[in-house]
Structure formats: C-alpha cells, structure tokens
C-alpha cells in the first residue's frame, strides 16, 4: 500500500472511532426517550451509589448485560454498515473499537473484569467538569444532577449541539447587579430555564417580581455572604458602574472597588464553599467583564477596572475549584446606555444559551473584532500567567 493510501486509511480509522462515539451518544439519548431502551438503560442508573461505587455485584452485572452489551452491538452494527456501504477498510477500526466495548461489558457482566471504566471509577470527585472530553465529574452530573442532560460518553459534541452540556433546571443562581437592566433580564431568562434565581442587590427597596428572593449586599461586605453562598450553585457577578470621564481619586477608588475588587473578593468567598463532590460538579461563577477587556469603552476607569478584573479571573482560573465563565458583552440598551444596539433580553438569552453549551468565554456583541481579539488575548494572558506564576500550597 502506498504511503498516501495508508495515510488516507488512518484518517478513515480515526474518523470511524469518532463516529463510533457519536453513535454511542445517539444510542444513549434514545435510551432516555424510547420506552424499550429506557427499561434496559435504567439498570445502568440503578447500579451506582453517588460516589460511583456499585450498589451490588448483581446490579452491576445486570447493568453491563442489559445496557452496555446492547449499546456495543448497536455501535458495531452501525459502523459495520458504514464500512460496507462506503467500502473504506479504515472504517473497520471503528468496528474493532466498538467490539472492545462489547468484550469488556461481557467480561464485567460475568465478573471476569472488576475494573470499571474511567467515567464510572469509584471515589470522590477531584476535578472540575471538563469541556470537550467527558471526565468523571461531567458524567456524574448525568447520574445525580439531571438525567436529561450530559448524554455524551467521551466527546461532548452532542451535548454542546443540543444545549445539554450544562443543566440550569433547579439550580440556585445568585445574580449581582440584579436591579440593573442586564440583571433583570438574566433573572427573567434563568426563571424560564427552570432555575431558582436570587437577586443580589444594593437597592433592596426597588420593585421586585413576586416570589423572587432578594438578598441585600454591598461591596466590602463579601465575607458576610459565606453562609448564603453555600447553597448557591451558580454565582453570576454582574454588577458594575461607569464614572465615564471622571478621573478623580474618589472615582478611581470607586471604580476599582466596585468593578474589580468586590467581584474578586465575592468570588473568593464563593470558592471557599466548593468542598464536596456535588459542589465541585455543580458550582460555577460567571463574570460579566465586558467588551472593555479588549476594546475601548471611551471611559478610561471603566476600561482599567474591567481589564484588571479580567486578568484576575484569567489568573484565578488556573487553580479554581469550580468552573469559571467570562461573559464579554457589547453595547446593549439600558438606563446607563440608552444608545446600545442590542436588547438586554436578547443578550441574556444568548448568554444562557451559550452557557448551556458549556462555552467558557461567552461573547455577545455586534463587534466582529471582539470575536478575534478576545480569544487571542485570553490565550496569551493565560499562557503568561501559567509560565510565570505558581500556586502557593500550604
């Protein structure tokens, strides 16, 4: 076989392995939607305790026999059909890959193989949920947070496509700056997603929707919120101010305190509440840092303070115990910016839509340059911090 032909078949083989994983994800999704497969798949969910320890050897064996064996056979059948139809020998690598799942499933069902697969390995969760490839923490959420999300088995493409890579249903989500235009829009959108929002505000006397929990707070008193934040799953740090052209000492102090330091301190308090496996799997922080991280806002102190916050977040991401997302917004219409070109409701919907697809840097703007400039800035700053700083351990 010529080298070029060999390379082509290797590429077909790699594609076949990825196709086999996608076929497995589709089968898994069907197992939660179609009655006959639901019955077979239910054994898989019955088999594990919350730390992925098998409840019993019998249940574990049945789960392998009733769920994993049919799933493997389906993968093998579909890949074999594609290999025959397309007539590319490299595709049979996907068949061999799927056959490996069948062999291990049969071995585990008979007690010949006692080791579990990587995503069901017993023990406490030690990692944050992954982004592109499924780890134990990511898959734990499918079993014990929401069985109607997190379907992916290895690559997370299906969940990102469907918006099931992050579930907001039933989550307690605290939003700072809740009395502002964007805060109100986020709270409304989160309620539509089935979340339980908490309005964190410095203006508790404002008019609020009936039934919405309102939590008064003020910058500088972040440590007082630790007990409340223990029961919060997602903290959205959305507050901020703009002193526009003012460059007085008081304006400098206020901008740094409100836009950067209070946000950082609040996040640090929140991160002290991430201790258990469930908290490590579900807790997140979303920072609204603004497009000012990479483009002019025609307000020097707003830019300085938001860029400081952005860099602090990038640095803190390297060691954070939970997922941290950045929300980079362009000009939206609000009381503070009546000439904004985007509606707050639409922006909030886009933010939530992208978060559910596990996007870690959420950009919503009409400025195309931001979509180019921000990833470059974030990657370079992250690399710089990684190379020239280190975590201090006790």
Catalytic residue selected from 138, 302, 371, 384: 302
Maximum separation of any 2 CA atoms in the chain, in Å: 77
Catalytic residue flag (residue 39): no
Say whether 138 sits in a helix, a strand or coil: helix
CA angle at 245 for the pair 244 and 250, rounded to the nearest 5°: 85
Query: Do residues 377 and 294 make contact, with C-beta atoms less than 8 angstroms apart?
Result: yes
Q: Are strands 284-288 and 234-237 parallel, antiparallel or unpaired?
A: parallel
Q: Are strands 196-201 and 361-364 parallel, antiparallel or unpaired?
A: unpaired
User: Residue 341 contacts by C-beta under 8 Å, 6 or more apart in sequence?
Assistant: 330, 331, 332, 333, 366
How many whole angstroms from its chain centre is CA 128? 9
CA-nearest of 281, 233, 240, 242 to 264 is: 240
Q: How many CA atoms lie within 13 A of 66 on its CB side?
A: 19
CA-nearest of 269, 264, 273 to 230 is: 273
CA-nearest of 243, 241, 279, 283 to 263 is: 241
Name the residues annotated as catalytic.
Answer: 302
């Amino acid at each position: 076989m010529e080298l070029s032909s060999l390379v082509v078949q290797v590429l077909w083989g790699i594609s076949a392995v990825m196709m086999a994983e996608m076929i497995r994800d589709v089968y898994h999704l069907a197992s939660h939607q179609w009655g006959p497969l639901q019955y077979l798949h239910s054994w898989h969910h019955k088999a594990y305790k919350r730390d992925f320890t098998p409840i019993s050897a019998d249940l574990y064996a049945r789960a392998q026999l009733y769920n994993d064996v049919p799933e493997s056979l389906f993968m093998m059948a579909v890949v074999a059909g594609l290999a025959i139809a397309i007539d590319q020998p490299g595709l049979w690598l996907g068949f061999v890959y799927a056959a490996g799942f069948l062999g291990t499933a049969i071995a585990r069902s008979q007690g010949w193989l006692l080791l579990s697969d990587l995503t069901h390995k017993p023990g406490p969760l030690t990692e944050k949920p992954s982004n592109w490839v499924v780890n134990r923490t990511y898959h734990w959420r499918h079993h014990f947070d929401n069985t109607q999300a997190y379907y992916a088995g290895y690559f997370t493409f299906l969940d990102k496509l469907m918006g099931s890579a992050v579930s907001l249903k039933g989550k307690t989500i605290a939003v700072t700056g809740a009395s502002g235009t964007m805060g109100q829009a986020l709270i409304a959108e989160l309620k539509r997603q089935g979340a339980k929002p908490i309005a964190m505000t410095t203006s508790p006397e404002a008019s609020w929707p009936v039934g919405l929990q309102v939590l008064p707070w003020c910058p500088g008193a972040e440590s007082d919120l630790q007990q409340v934040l223990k029961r919060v799953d997602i903290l959205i740090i959305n507050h901020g101010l703009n002193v526009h052209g003012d460059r007085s000492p008081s304006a400098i102090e206020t901008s740094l305190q409100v836009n950067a330091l209070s946000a950082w301190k609040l996040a640090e308090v929140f991160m002290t509440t991430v201790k258990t496996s469930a908290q490590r799997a579900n807790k997140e922080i979303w920072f609204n840092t603004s497009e000012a991280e990479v483009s002019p806002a025609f307000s020097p102190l707003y830019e300085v303070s938001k860029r400081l916050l952005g860099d602090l977040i990038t640095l803190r991401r390297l060691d954070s115990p939970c997922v941290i997302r950045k929300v980079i917004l362009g000009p939206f219409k609000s009381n503070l910016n009546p000439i904004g070109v985007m509606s707050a409701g639409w922006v909030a919907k886009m933010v939530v839509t992208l978060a559910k697809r596990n996007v870690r840097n959420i950009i919503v703007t009409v400025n195309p340059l931001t979509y180019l400039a921000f990833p470059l800035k974030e990657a370079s700053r992250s690399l710089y911090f990684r190379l020239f700083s280190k975590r201090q351990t006790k």
